Amino acid sequence: MNTIIMVEFVLYLLIMLVVGFLVSRRSKSHADFLLGGKQLPGWALAFSERATGESAWLLLGYTGFVFATGLSGVWVAVGIASGIIFSWLFLAKRFMKEAEKTGTLTLPSFLAHRFGKHGKMILWLSTILIFSFMMFYFGAQIAGAGKTLLAVFNIPTKVGAILSIIVVVILAYAGGFVTVVWTDMIQSIMMLITLVVLPIVALVQISAADLSISQALVAAGPSMDSWTGGAIGFSLGLLLFNNFAWFFGFLGGQPQLSARFMALRSEKEAKQGSFVAITWTILAYSGAFMIGITALTLYQGQVFADVEMILPFMILDLMPPWIAGVLLAGILAAIISTADSQLLVITSSVSEDIIQRAMNLKLTEKKLVAISRLTIVAAGIVGLIIALTSKSLVFLVVSWAWAGVGCTLSPAIMLTFFWKRYSGIGVIATIVSGFVSTVIWISTPLDAIATSRFTTFFIALAFGIIFSLLFPDKKEDQETAPAEAPESSQI
């Protein structure tokens, strides 16, 4: 264990906790705790949205995926980058305006408000959906933290996971959304530094050693040097579409990402945020892809027990300790930034969507914040249990959660925004069909053929359209909103 790296890790965690404590004093009401009360600048929200969207899955999962698959792994990056760009250019302003108009604080509450007659059923179903998949998504982050601390400091995975969950819970508990966004901003910059600096150093090392990337790809396997993975015909279509299918989860259906759009203050800040987020995405995914490719070149012939540890291995191998500590902290930053945002999504589903709106309990702001904090602690414990018992790869678990939540709620959002005939029954059909189809699909060999990210989106979309046509809403159904929250919790 290197003392310099350990000191930098500890300093990083202390800085995050101090920043979290300082900004936590700005969260006073329930609306502040869950959505920041429209007090945050667009550039900070953009950094937070990117740090939240890209977690251990990007720095550990995706780099390992490219290392294992070669050039064809680029289509995952293309799909995700396309989804991010689309959401910032075409959905961010819409979410901002709808949040201002309806006074809603969460994605499920917006849908419930929009389809008032069926609002309570939509709230209950969407909460069950979010809980079922988001907890595993959250658990994957904690598992990634445990892996990182094991690789760097040889700390047992369980101990590393426990240490990580303590930091995540403290940050989310202290000041809610405001604390999470400002700490995310710092962590987002750290992630970007890691993803940009490491491939540059690796390319310099490859040049100095007179190695050939193309030859290394050929030597790694028969399909590693092919942008299509060696597939042709129907198999090629499936490969490209399965990898590109991450796109569908970015169409408004990830509540932890959409919350950043809802918190925007103006169109000017939305444009500012779009520029920051899109630039960050291009740099980060280009870097992550090159990390996987350069690792194949530098370590050709070596066998790794866990390919998702290729990034920390490279950092420790190529960097002096004082730089390695900073870059490795970027991995932990990715994990913490996503995990605390997911905790807030789970928390808002309980305090805002169920207690405040579905059950319509008249609680004070103080009690609602207290419930939110209690939920954070409880969800943290459940997430830790999942992290300690799950044996699946981070990449795989995140893929399932992306399908279950993002690719189920994205059709609901897109139809709500862009199709006037979408009905409350259609929303219910969308959520139920998306949930059921994801569970069935990932439980069978079908997911290895066609990813559930693709099938869930189009199944949920089809059911939403069909049931909306069969059971259309009357005009007055969408004008009433029994699930609307009391005035005190509105933005």
DSSP assignment string, 50-87: HHHHS-HIIIIIIHHHHHHHGGGGHHHHHHHHHHHHHI
List, in order, residues 6 or more apart from 114 with CB less than 8 Å away: 102, 416, 478
In terms of residue numbers, what domain contains 307? 3-394
Q: How confident is the model at residue 25, as a pLDDT?
A: 61
Half-sphere exposure of 463 (CA within 13 A, CB side): 21
Decide if 485 is inside a domain: no
Question: pTM for the complete prediction?
Answer: 0.81
Q: How many helices (H) and strands (E) does the chain have?
A: 22, 0
Q: Does some domain include residue 409?
A: no
pLDDT of 392 reads: 59
Nearest to 88 by CA among 279, 336, 284: 279
Could you tell me if 270 and 96 are in contact, meaning their C-beta atoms sit under 8 angstroms apart?
yes
CA distance 85 to 83: 6
CATH value at residue 147: 1.20.1730.10
The reply to whether 126 falls in a domain is: yes
Question: For the segment 235-288, what is each residue's pLDDT rounded down to a tens digit?
Answer: 777 777 777 888 888 898 888 889 899 999 899 999 999 999 999 999 999 999
Q: Cβ–Cβ contacts within 10 Å for residue 486, how many?
A: 14
35-39, 239-243, 299-303, 362-366: least confident range: 35-39
DSSP 70: G
Q: Is the pLDDT of residue 425 over 90?
A: yes
Most confident of the ranges 19-28, 340-349, 389-398: 340-349
Instruction: Give the mean pLDDT of 210-220.
Output: 90
pLDDT at 477 over 60: no
Tokens standing for residue 209:
């050693």
The segment with the largest mean pLDDT, out of 61-75, 314-328, 331-345, 366-380, is 61-75
Q: What is the pLDDT of residues 217-232, one digit of tens each?
A: 998 888 888 888 776 6
Task: Find the distance separating the first CA and the last CA of the chain, reported in whole Å.
Answer: 48
> Does pLDDT of 483 surpass 60?
no
Please say whether the beta carbons of 54 and 334 come within 8 A. yes
User: What is the spatial distance between Cα 189 and Cα 191, in angstroms, rounded to a whole number?
Assistant: 5
Work out the mean pLDDT of the chain and round it to a whole number.
83
pLDDT level of residue 369 (50, 70, 90 thresholds): confident
State percent of the chain over pLDDT 90. 29
Please say whether the beta carbons of 30 and 368 come within 8 A.
yes
pLDDT at 24 over 80: no
Angle, helices 157-208/365-389, rounded to nearest 10 degrees: 70
Predicted local distance difference test score (pLDDT) of residue 370: 83
Q: Which residues contact 105 (CB under 8 A, 6 or more apart)?
A: 31, 34, 35, 99, 262, 348, 352, 485, 489, 490, 491
CA 486/CA 491 separation, integer angstroms: 11
- 164 against 487, higher pLDDT: 164
pLDDT band for 168, please (50, 70, 90 cuts): confident
pLDDT of residue 396: 66
Residue 297 has pLDDT above 80, yes or no: yes
Q: Are 485 and 356 in contact (CB under 8 A)?
A: yes
Q: Answer yes or no: is 390 within a domain.
A: yes
Mean pLDDT to the nearest integer, 199-212: 93
- Residue 416 near residue 155 (C-beta atoms within 8 A): no
The answer to whether the beta carbons of residues 485 and 103 sit under 8 Å apart is yes
Q: What does the alpha-carbon distance between residue 430 and residue 428 come to, in Å, rounded to a whole number?
A: 5
For residues 35 and 177, the answer to whether their CB atoms sit within 8 Å is: yes
pLDDT at 31: 67
Confirm whether 336 is domain-assigned.
yes
Q: In the predicted model, is pLDDT for residue 208 greater than 80?
A: yes
The answer to the question of residue 323 being in a domain is yes
Task: Indicate the number of domains in the chain.
Answer: 1
> What pLDDT score does 171 carry?
75
Determine whether 473 is exposed, middle or buried from the number of CB atoms within 10 Å of its CB (0-12, 13-18, 19+).
Answer: buried
Mean pLDDT of 186-202: 89
pLDDT at 288: 94
pLDDT at 380 over 60: yes
Band the pLDDT of 479: cuts 50, 70, 90. very low
Task: Work out the number of other CB atoms within 10 angstroms of the CB of residue 61.
Answer: 25
Asked whether residue 107 is domain-assigned, the answer is: yes
Output the pLDDT for position 47: 92
Residue 210, domain member (yes or no): yes
What pLDDT is stored for residue 296 in this prediction? 92
Q: What is the DSSP letter of 228?
A: T
- Predicted confidence (pLDDT) at residue 482 exceeds the cutoff of 80: no
Q: Is there a contact between 223 and 230 (Cβ–Cβ < 8 Å)?
A: yes
